[in-house]
Amino acid sequence: MEETITAFTGAGAVAGRGDRGVRAPEAAARYAEECHWDVCPGTWLEMNGGAWHCSCGDPGCAAPGAHPARADWAAEATGSATVARRMWRERPEASVLLPTGRSFDVIEVPETAGFLALARMERREPAPGPVVSAPDRRMRFLVLPGAAAKVPDLVRGLGWAPATLDLAVLGAGGYVAAPPTRWGAWGSVRWVCRPTAANRWLPDAAELIAPLAYACARER
Ligand SMILES: [Zn+2]
């Protein structure tokens, strides 16, 4: 298992520089097979009148090509690579969505705050788990499930009112778009920290909240 994860995340694989090299169907199957994450196909981009539009048909779509396509998307999500391959065979351009509140929750902060927090984490513990950034300029840190329930208290414990920080937590019912999803005309979702064998045991929200909250407070 360790070897497959290493192969999955090595040079030219799903993450980092290899983002463009792996198509959505293969990436989705690998997330299911090697990371043990549920995956769900979302909307996609369609060229229409010389411009890219979201397959949802809403001209004002806030996340073109990077959100659920169906109301029952959560029930459709699968942890089976075989089922994932079958779903993306039908919709090869569909975005790759990872439901939150299952294998992981997500702490979401502005990209600038995320980079600041990562710089602090580089110098000392805790080590971050996988981190994804998207063209909406938000950075999303994967943490153990259960974060959604306890982050507000953790933030209060650090001395901030949760509502004053631009920090959100995604738990049950939420999702994140994963590489190689293309997000509107602005670019693609990418891994800032790739899923690897080393970070497959995700950090707890309590371990990451201090650097993330401090970074968000500085960005206010
Ligand atoms: Zn849309």
* pLDDT tens digits, 169-198: 999 999 999 999 999 987 999 999 999 988
User: How far apart are the C-alpha atoms of 12 and 181, rounded to whole Å?
Assistant: 16
Q: What pTM does this model have?
A: 0.89
Residue 219 confidence class, pLDDT cut points 50, 70, 90: confident
- 43 Cα to the center of ligand 1, angstroms: 6
User: How far apart are the C-alpha atoms of 166 and 213, rounded to whole Å?
Assistant: 9
Mean of per-residue pLDDT scores for the chain: 89
Residue 123 confidence class, pLDDT cut points 50, 70, 90: confident
- 128 Cα to the center of ligand 1, angstroms: 30
Residue 212 confidence class, pLDDT cut points 50, 70, 90: very high
- 120 Cα to the center of ligand 1, angstroms: 35
Q: Look up residue 45 and give its amino acid.
A: L
- 108 Cα to the center of ligand 1, angstroms: 20
Using the predicted structure, report yes or no on whether residue 64 has a pLDDT greater than 90. yes
Rounded-to-10 torsion of CA 55, 57, 60, 64: 0
Beta strands in 59-120 (DSSP E): 96-99, 105-110
- 78 Cα to the center of ligand 1, angstroms: 22
| pLDDT, mean of residues 73-84 | 97
